[in-house]
A and B are shown apart, each in its own frame.
Chain A
Amino acid sequence: MDLEKQIKELYEQHHHEIFSYIFIMIGDWQQARDLMQDTFVKAFMNHDRFRGDASPKTWLYQIARNVSIDYLRKKKPVAYYLDYYSPILSKQPTPDEVLQKKENVEYLYLALFKLKKGYRDVIVLRKVNEFSIKETASILNWKESRVKTMLHRGLEALRKELVKEGYTNETV
């Protein structure tokens, strides 16, 4: 299959979810679009390095994650580093576009952004994108045991954050 066809096929299959993943991670629609393009360009420029020990989809997510991290580091390294230390110190602005587009789950998005970065990473991959533990471990370059532990703690932290924000666990 020639390169043009490969690009088209991979793009058609995965561009929505890759865009969505990047958008959740950085909260900027236009920038997420650019970074999604960067992801596919990098994938094609480096497709000969793809070893095949993960699925093409997992590989694309790995690239998307690296591209997003690079962007966040360049854009606001202070906030990025502090985000690793403490969500309290981080002054990550609220991504308004997300709220406009997803009013019904805005509480979740806001709570996610207040979590430590590691918790957010694992919740987004496991619960939003529904990767398996093995795939999540591969994308994050973590051990599977760490994925399990971090997911459990991350969900606990998410629930606490929801309660802190005035939400209570009731069946609606």
Chain B
Amino acid sequence: MYSKIILQKDLPKLVDELVNDHIVVAPTKAKNVPTFSEVRSSEEVEFSILFNEKLPMIPLKKIFLPSQQTVFKYSLSEGVTESCEELAARVAEKKILVFGASPCDITGVNVLNRIFHEYYTDALFSQIRDRTVIIGMNCLDHCYENCFCETMHSNDPKSGYDIMLTPISKTKLIAVPNSDKGKALLRTHGEIFQEVTTKDHQAYLKALEQKRLNFKSEFPVEGLASEIEDNFESSVWEEFTKKCLFCGSCTFVCPTCYCFSTKDNLSIDLKTGERIRDWDSCYYPEFALVAGGHNFREHQSQRFRYRYLHKFVDIPRRYNLEGCVGCGRCITYCPANIDVRDVLKMIRGVSN
């Protein structure tokens, strides 16, 4: 049997072994905010985040699409001197290991993977994704009031992780591998793990059954894309525009918001430079500004609506998956208390 048992008290020991040959990224409490950061020992890991299931503020996208990233280098006389592909090939070979990703965050990475790896090949994204191993931490219930993962079908990803840890009792977790990398990892660190007994396996099945019972969908997403399109001119957009600060916080904490802008950084001798991409938000007035001065979304209400169109219409239709994972971060970190569920419900209310 590939699956193994690990005692909860041995998780720090596992992390301490993993840091030897991986860059380990795990939930921490840097600056008093739950966050994913690189850790050098288990002492830096905030295990309570895993078990109390509070989501790190910035999701895993920050590993795969960092807020600032050099995409190519150039010389003013010779043009591109180091392409995106060359830059990607040059970066460190050390494996990255994400420890304790929640199922919805894994689903979020899968959305990015579909767009940046499967539909298009973004060399930088791909090289980071290829050398990353993900150990997930299963959720058996909604983690907090803003979570609506069941609605968005994100709490049971079938791929995109290498091992899933599921608590089967107060002291034990079962580690189920989901890839060859995951199996290899369980073998390499075999001494920390125990064999799965029949009783353990029954407890696992019971936990999964409990999970199925605990998660409730808040509203059907079937037909949502068309309903939003039908209500393109709805006054609901305008109503929420009166509350929204357009600070963009929701977009930065969103696991699937991937938009970026680019800027150039010239060297001081003015001979060379690098093109940098950094996070951008469709809530900002210059997001849809193009050369010549035309702005495709000049008004706040157009920008407010656009994010919903992208998430709930465009991504599902173009990439055949949900554009929202229902993690609720945009609700938690919205200074104006806007709830994406309310917006969707009100938009649908108009059509009924």
B is bound to A: no
